[in-house]
């Protein structure tokens, strides 16, 4: 099939194949890189949220509880619980569009508030942190009925003895807390024990969509550049190669029919120009041979 195509068509097909193959292979690599970058970007945002929630917990422990110490001795105040404060602050943060897909949970093995109860998957994460004290962070993808999610988890340990005022035994816990949550859950904690994990999660589609959007933009730009290159190559090929070759071909056809008054134009010093010079020398040799042949013919008459 290629034998019936001209040089421009052959070169265009070759460049098109190179573009398709290049974009296909490059697209696969680019997709992996962009997905990694999207994951890193979302991870950075999630860690920032987690650090903010940790700051809220510290603030609640160090300042709110200190101010409410006298009242807390008489009445249990949920807002004085670091986990409660962090969760409520996060819900306020989620009202912003850029954070509405994020979810925060302090998944605890034995929480006072069953809202924070760890499920089987979260329990496995807690146990991993318990077994490896040097492990400070975990992330990955989790399958749930609503779709895969990407999560980041950090261990949650009892770092202050004041936490044990509510979580050691129900005998020393505030009566109003017992009235609210009962005597079954949230007790038996020990100082420095890992009791749960802070977990930030986001739908996996968020990571995929972010990388796909970037891929579409980048591949679109690269495709446009390649198309522009193909057009420029065709323009260059037409002006610098095809037109001179057509002109040489036309003159060669005229010379072949006996029109010796035409010359091959030597318009450049490249291969096309050298070809024109060679044809001019061939034409000159042909003229000389024809003159000698004519002289020989006249001398024999």
Does 226 lie in the same domain as 167? no
Q: What is the pTM of this model?
A: 0.58
Does 268 lie in the same domain as 238? yes
Instruction: Report the domain count for the chain.
Output: 2
Q: HSE-up of 101 (CA within 13 Å, CB side)? A: 16
pLDDT at 128: 94
Residue with tokens 């050298």: 274
Q: Which CATH number does the domain housing residue 39 bear?
A: 3.30.450
Last residue of a domain, one of 182, 204, 226: 204
pLDDT at 158: 87
pLDDT per 10-residue tile (average), the chain, 301 residues: 65 76 69 71 83 86 71 67 85 86 89 88 93 90 82 89 80 80 87 91 74 69 78 78 77 74 70 76 78 75 64
Does 160 lie in the same domain as 67? yes
Q: HSE-up of 229 (CA within 13 Å, CB side)? A: 12
Instruction: Give domain status of residue 18, yes or no.
Output: no
Does 243 lie in the same domain as 125? no
Taking alpha carbons only, the member of 62, 49, 115 closest to residue 84 is 115
Instruction: Give domain status of residue 171, yes or no.
Output: yes
pLDDT at 207: 66
21 CB-contact burial (10 Å; exposed 0-12 / middle 13-18 / buried 19+): exposed
pLDDT at 127: 93
Last residue of a domain, one of 204, 233, 249: 204
Does 27 lie in the same domain as 63? yes
- Domain span at residue 157 reads 23-204
Does 189 lie in the same domain as 58? yes
Does 67 lie in the same domain as 157? yes
Instruction: Give domain status of residue 141, yes or no.
Output: yes
pLDDT at 198: 92
Does 199 lie in the same domain as 121? yes
Last residue of a domain, one of 180, 204, 228: 204
Taking alpha carbons only, the member of 112, 99, 213 closest to residue 166 is 112
Instruction: Give domain status of residue 6, yes or no.
Output: no
Q: Which residues contact 245 (CB under 8 A, 6 or more apart)?
A: 7, 272
pLDDT at 171: 82
């Amino acid at each position: 099939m290629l034998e019936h195509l001209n040089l421009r068509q052959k070169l265009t097909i070759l460049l098109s194949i190179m573009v398709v193959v290049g974009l296909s292979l490059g697209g696969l690599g680019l997709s992996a890189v962009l997905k990694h970058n999207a994951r890193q970007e979302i991870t950075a945002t999630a860690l920032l949220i987690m650090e903010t929630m940790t700051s809220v917990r510290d603030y609640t422990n160090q300042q709110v509880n200190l101010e409410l110490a006298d009242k807390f001795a008489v009445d249990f105040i949920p807002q004085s619980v670091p986990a409660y404060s962090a969760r409520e602050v996060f819900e306020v943060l989620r009202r912003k569009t850029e954070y509405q897909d994020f979810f925060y949970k302090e998944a605890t093995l034995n929480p006072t508030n069953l809202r924070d109860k760890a499920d089987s998957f979260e329990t496995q994460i807690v146990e991993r942190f318990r077994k490896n004290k040097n492990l400070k962070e975990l992330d990955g993808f989790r399958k749930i009925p609503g779709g895969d999610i990407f999560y980041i988890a950090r261990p949650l340990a009892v770092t202050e003895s004041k936490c044990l005022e509510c979580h050691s035994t129900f005998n020393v816990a505030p009566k109003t807390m017992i009235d609210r949550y009962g005597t079954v859950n949230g007790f038996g904690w020990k100082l420095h024990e890992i009791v749960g994990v802070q977990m930030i999660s986001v739908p996996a589609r968020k990571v995929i969509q972010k990388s796909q959007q970037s891929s579409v933009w980048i591949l679109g730009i690269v495709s446009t550049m390649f198309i522009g290159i193909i057009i420029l190559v065709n323009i260059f090929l037409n002006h610098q190669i095809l037109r001179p070759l057509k002109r040489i071909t036309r003159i060669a056809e005229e010379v072949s029919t006996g029109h010796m008054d035409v010359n091959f134009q030597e318009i450049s010093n490249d291969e096309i120009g050298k070809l024109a010079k060679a044809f001019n020398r061939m034409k000159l040799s042909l003229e000389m041979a024809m003159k000698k042949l004519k002289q020989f013919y006249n001398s024999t008459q």
